[in-house]
Amino acid sequence: MSDQADLREAVRVGYAAAALQVSGGGTACCGSGSVEIDEKFGSGLYEETERDALPAEAVAASLGCGNPLAVAELREGERVLDLGSGGGIDVLLSARRVGVSGKAYGLDMTEEMLALALANQRKAGTTNVEFLKGTIEAIPLPAQTIDVVISNCVINLSVDKPAVFAEMYRVLVSGGRIGISDVVAEDRLTPAERAERGDYVGCIAGALSFGEYREGLKAAGFADVEITPTHAVADGMHSAIVRAVKPTTVSGELPLVGQEGAVPSGTSCCG
């Protein structure tokens, strides 16, 4: 396999193992274990009231570096997509915020995580949720059908980040937005120096710098890009909140939910 294929398979194997660990009654570990789940990663980054409202397995499977819902500002009736949805914690919380008139999609490439997420959905009794199998570089949804894209410490794991940014832009409606938590490196660090601080599966080596992230989103067409560090996860590496919008001046695109001519919630396809 190519280096990219090897990395993607390592990510899949690492997170499949995490899902099986949770399904067996344990708590997930991030990647190969080079990053510990402590105050910097995991369910502790969510409010206690949010955790208490969900199945224990969804909370135990949380491997993120932040809480994207804290900045996504989801509204009633919106359609939200979580990239790399894992055990489903952000999807289930999103579904509560957008209400029965909205829809929350979760996308994951790992069969074991999807099985865990579906089990958590059944336990939560949530109906306005759909989990999809696929990669974040090729999102199995039609263009211009999502109002908000969220993701929690997953884009750093991608082997083709420009493709991820392009896909986010494609599925968002005009005026749609992203609210992402991710690991981001200080601009002073080279890729080799990032790799010294942690491995790829452990959410460190694959992280973009602040400048690379900003320019990558702009190259995909996003505007109003904001990247705000929240806490350090390693020397020169930070959990950060990433915000951006798809400009409303894009011609020929669909309006947001609630506007005349909007696409009904529930439009989807499964890869």
Q: What is the mean pLDDT of residues 94-107?
A: 94
Helix boundaries (H) for 146-201: 161-171, 191-196
Closest CA to 248 of 192, 176, 165: 176
Answer whether 113's CB lies under 8 Å from 85's CB.
yes
The Cα–Cα gap between 162 and 145 comes to 20
Is pLDDT at 72 greater than 70 in this prediction? yes
The Cα–Cα gap between 187 and 172 comes to 29
**pTM assigned to the model:** 0.77
Identify the residue with better confidence: 4 or 209. Answer: 209
Answer whether 56's CB lies under 8 Å from 27's CB.
no
- What's the pLDDT score for residue 110? 87
Q: Which of 82-91, 173-182, 219-228 has the lowest mean pLDDT?
A: 82-91
Query: Which H, E and C letters describe 79-126, residue by residue?
Result: EEEEECCCCCHHHHHHHHHHCCCCEEEEEECCHHHHHHHHHHHHHHCC
Is pLDDT at 244 greater than 90 in this prediction? yes
Domains and CATH numbers, the chain: 3-245 (3.40.50.150)
pLDDT tens digit sequence for 4-56: 666 556 555 555 555 445 444 444 444 433 334 444 444 444 455 655 554 44
Q: What is the mean pLDDT of residues 109-136?
A: 91
pLDDT tens digit sequence for 141-182: 999 999 999 998 889 889 899 999 999 999 999 999 999 989
Q: Which two tokens stand for residue 125?
A: 């009794």
The Cα–Cα gap between 32 and 151 comes to 20
At how many degrees (to 10) do helices 89-98 and 111-124 cross?
Answer: 40
- What's the pLDDT score for residue 179? 94
The Cα–Cα gap between 6 and 27 comes to 26
